[in-house]
Amino acid sequence: MRRFLDAVLDSIFRLFADKGARMTMVVSILIYAFLYPQPYTGEVVRDVPIVVIDQDGSTASRELRRRVDNSDQVAVVAHTDGLPAAQEMFNARKVYGVLIIPPDFEQDLLHGRQSPIAAFGDGSYFLLYGAISSAVSSAANSLGAEIRVSRLTALGVDAGTAAALVSPVVITSVPQFNPNGGYASFAVPAAFILIIQQTLLIGIGIMHAGKPARPGIARVATPTAYILLYTFWVAVTQLLLPVIYGLPQVGHPITLFAIAVPFLMAVTAMGFALVQVIPTREGMIFFLVVQGLPLFFITGVSWPIESVPDPIRWLAMAVPSTSAMSAIIRVDQMGASLSMIIPIVKLQLALAVGYAAIAYALHNWRFPNSS
Amino acid sequence: MLGPFPLILMLLLSAVFAPGLPSNLPVAVVDQDGTTLSRQAVRMIDATADLAVTVRATSLGEAQDALVSGAVYAVIFIPQSMGRDLLQGNRPELVTFYNNQFLTVGGIVSRASRQAMGTFSAGVATQALVANGAVPEAAVEAVVPIPVQRSPLFNPALDYVQFLLAALMPTVLQIFITASAALTIGSDVQHPNGMARLTRIGGSSITGIAGKLAPYGLAYLLTLIFADVIIFGAFDAPFNGNIWLHGAYSASFVLACLCLGGMLAMIAGETVGALGLTGVLTGPAFGFAGISFPRITMNTFAWIWGGLLPLTAYLQLRTDQVLRGAPIEVSLPAFGWLLGQILLYGSVLMFLVARSAQVPAKQASIA
């Protein structure tokens, strides 16, 4: 046991002695911890600038404008008469949406006719488009409902009946787990699972590509050392970072490590299998660094896994992060219990065993005299 | 070694997004009412293209477990006596609890659920009220007083998938291009006299470096064009802008990435460090580019950092030209910004190369 601990410590020292490994497995994680959340520190999209073309200029159209402007999501920054001027502001990125209130807006409403308005947004920026769309819709809905109620009461219908008729049911949406819809709360914990996986794989590449394994106890001690180091990084990125950046974190640490440690075992084993296939340090880094983003989009966290074609989904299951990322998010951000993630824990352990066997077999085939 | 690897990744990404907008996302329903009306509401949820009712739970607790475990993305709760309250005009509440930790899916699911409920409210529920005699039939208007029309010119949600894919492919290519330049220049510079040799073979430091990077530039420009073929050919995305400008900034993007990678190699002085710098700089680039989370909402540091990456300028130009069909003059500042990056990274690269090529030469003359 003592010998084993010494060998683990020795592996850690070797890692710190190698500049490339130190930069990858220690320094780069610290850099990412600062750098990665930066775009998202604002958390939610607020006050998206839009321009209004009010061709009606009536009391009703002013009321609509006021309601749109009053929403958190949108700010009316300009008024113009015509579409060309609005288009110019849009192209110059001074505004990200255009609201058009046509002439006779009020007249039509008063006469009980449909009175459409038009909202142009930029669908390529999903969050901006969503903010504009939702602000305009809720303003139009609330004003429309009020107008219908007042029209009904004018006809002699009592207020309660009028309200029931305009909206017979109350429709409520309650966001769970990330109540403010924060973007950092969504992206940061997930991304660090991938950062952990990729830096661990690259680190193993830097330390071991093209080299035969050191014989004896080191063959077990070295992977153990990496898993221990990265258990620390899991604690830093999944427990400490949420505190620093004020992100929701509800999971129990023990449940977190119950999935995180098998995940790290699978990643480590995969790393040792990969170095047998890609024998150079540069090859390993290159191969892994380009894959971060594609791997992120098949984890189901940012894009629903249900809509990813089955063959790709099954193939991707061979990569530990594919199943582990959403499991860890469920535990840490959504409070899932251990029993809910047991299948993923088993999958990670199976991957660990599978990759370890592959690594062992390939190593002995490539370096027949090493053991 | 590299050969088909970028192409394979482009195809894989395309396959991930090929089905388009997500549909039939699983949701749970807790129907505590169990009347004809509540069953109709459940059917209307299931009938939407976006949602599929996969779990029928008897209690909210059971449904919440399905939500936390990831089996469903939302729980729709229909309270006891919903039907009776509705018929009496007591406005029962229908609640959707949705998973907002998975932000994209949560948004789609909650919007679809609201829409289904809205349809239920405006149709079935209103008819039931009238049939029950709670309100006079004369008062019923089937119309929404202020419908919001959305312009087809500025693409609706479906094109988001195409644009997300069209943004992801250059993001991955930026890493490929920068890393390739970093690797090839890095392997020269880590040899003693490497830069002197490169300069000698090339005739000058500029031609030496250009000769070294040109094959990569050509290969990656072709890969970028291949990505466009997928977007405009296979996905049939519309192209609204100026094709010549599109070609010009595409080539500039590749060149800017090459200069950036070369510069990083000269700064690191060896391959592993150069690739490490490339990873740190280009790995999180998608977040800084402002496609997912908009640039106008970022802090100053993130805004400047993103501005230093070729991808940010390229994607803004791409939005202008491909989607908005903006006039050329609108895109000139962003094009200048991309050319400025080439100038900046190119000059630093050439300066460092020239310095590195000179040092050993001087030492040689002293000896």
Chain B environment of A190 (Cβ under 8 Å):
none
ipTM: 0.91
| A42/B90 Cβ within 8 A | no
pLDDT at B153: 53
Nearest Cα of chain B lies from the Cα of A240 at a distance, in angstroms, of: 18
More reliable by pLDDT, A163 or B136: A163
* The predicted structure's pLDDT at residue B151: 65
Across the interface, whether the CB atoms of B287 and A40 are under 8 A apart is answered yes
Inter-axis angle of helices A159-166 and A126-154, nearest 10: 140
Q: What is the mean pLDDT of chain B?
A: 88
Size of interface A-B (CB pairs under 8 A): 358
CATH topology of domain B23-139: abc type-2 transporter like fold (3.40.1710)
CB contact under 8 A, A123 and B26: no
> Taking CB atoms and an 8 Å limit, are A124 and B319 in contact across chains?
yes
Q: Sorting pLDDT into bands at 50, 70 and 90, what band is B155?
A: low
User: Residue A196 — very low, low, confident or very high, per pLDDT cuts 50/70/90?
Assistant: very high
Q: With bands split at pLDDT 50, 70 and 90, how would you rate the model's confidence at B366?
A: very low
Q: What are phi and psi of A119, to 5 degrees?
A: -125, 125
Closest CA to A133 of A71, A180, A187, A89: A71
Distance CA(B46)–CA(B73), nearest Å, equals: 14
Handedness of CA B324, B325, B331, B337 (dihedral sign): positive
Beta strands (DSSP E) in B91-200 are: 93-99, 148-150
Rounded to 10°, the helix A253-277/A183-208 angle is 40
Those residues whose C-beta lies under 8 Å from the C-beta of residue A200, and which sit 6 or more positions away, are: A25, A226, A230, A264, A267, A268, A271
pLDDT at A281 over 80: yes
Q: Tell me, what's the pLDDT at B128? A: 77
Confidence of residue A208 (pLDDT cuts 50, 70, 90): very high
B246-277: per-residue pLDDT in tens?
A: 999 999 999 999 999 999 999 999 999 999 99
Please give the single-letter amino acid code of residue A240. Answer: L
pLDDT at A295: 93
CA-nearest residue to A167 within chain B is B121
Average pLDDT over residues B111-116: 91
Share of chain B above pLDDT 90, in %: 62
Give the pLDDT confidence score for residue B359 in this predicted structure.
64
The per-residue pLDDT for A351 is: 97
pLDDT band at A130 (very low <50, low <70, confident <90, very high): confident
Q: B-chain residues within 8 Å CB-CB of A245?
A: none
CA–CA gap between residue A329 and residue B150 (Å, rounded): 35
Q: For chain A, which domains are there?
A: 2-41+182-366 (no CATH), 48-166 (3.40.1710.10)
Residues A217, A208: Cα–Cα separation, whole Å: 16
- How many residues are present in chain B? 367
pLDDT tens digits for range B183-230: 999 998 888 888 888 888 888 888 889 999 999 999 999 999 999 999
Averaged pLDDT for residues A103-132? 86
Is the model's pLDDT at B239 over the cut of 70?
A: yes
Is it the case that residue B100 has pLDDT exceeding 60?
A: yes
Which structure tokens are listed for A204? Answer: 């193993």
Burial readout A170-197 (b: 16 or more C-beta within 10 A, e: otherwise): ebebebbbbeebbbbbbbbbbbbbbbbb
Closest Cα to residue B140, out of A151, A232, A277? A151
User: Residue A164 and residue B24: Cβ atoms within 8 Å?
Assistant: no
pLDDT at residue A348 tops 80: yes
Tell me which residue in A38, A117, A286 faces B305 most closely, judged by beta carbons: A38
Q: What distance in Å separates the CA atoms of residue B262 and residue B206, rounded to the nearest whole number?
A: 12
- Residue B302: DSSP 8-state: H
The CA angle A307-A312-A316, to the nearest 5 degrees, is: 110
Considering chain B, tell me which residue range(s) the CATH 3.40.1710.10 domain(s) occupy.
23-139
- Contact list in B for residue A310 (CB cut-off 8 A) is none
* Best mutation target, B297, B303, B308, B331, to test chain A (most A CBs within 10 A): B297
CB contact under 8 A, B16 and A297: yes
Is B168 in Cβ contact with A124 (below 8 Å)?
no
State whether B68 and A326 contact (CB < 8 Å): no
Long-range contacts of A31-35, Cβ-Cβ distance < 8 Å, separation of 24 or more: A31/B280, A32/A192, A32/A195, A32/B280, A32/B283, A32/B284, A33/A192, A33/A236, A33/A237, A33/A241, A35/B280, A35/B284, A35/B305
Contact A109 B110 (CB under 8 A): no
The DSSP line for A220-289 is HHHHHHHHHHHHHHHHIIIIIHHHHHT----S-HHHHHHHHHHHHHHHHHHHHHHHHHS-SHHHHHHHHH
Q: How confident is the model at residue B364 (pLDDT cuts 50, 70, 90)?
A: very low
Distance CA B145, CA B358 (A): 77
Tokens of B70: 């990831």
pLDDT digits (tens, 9 = 90+) for B309-354: 999 999 999 988 988 888 999 999 999 999 999 999 999 999 999 8
The two tokens of residue A150 are 């007042």
pLDDT at B161 over 80: no
Mean pLDDT across B89-105: 92
Q: Which of A302-306, A327-331, B120-124, B180-184 has the lowest mean pLDDT?
A: B120-124
Contacts of A173 in chain B (CB under 8 A): 95-96, 98, 110, 113-114
Residue A165 pLDDT: 82
Distance CA B89, CA A161 (A): 6
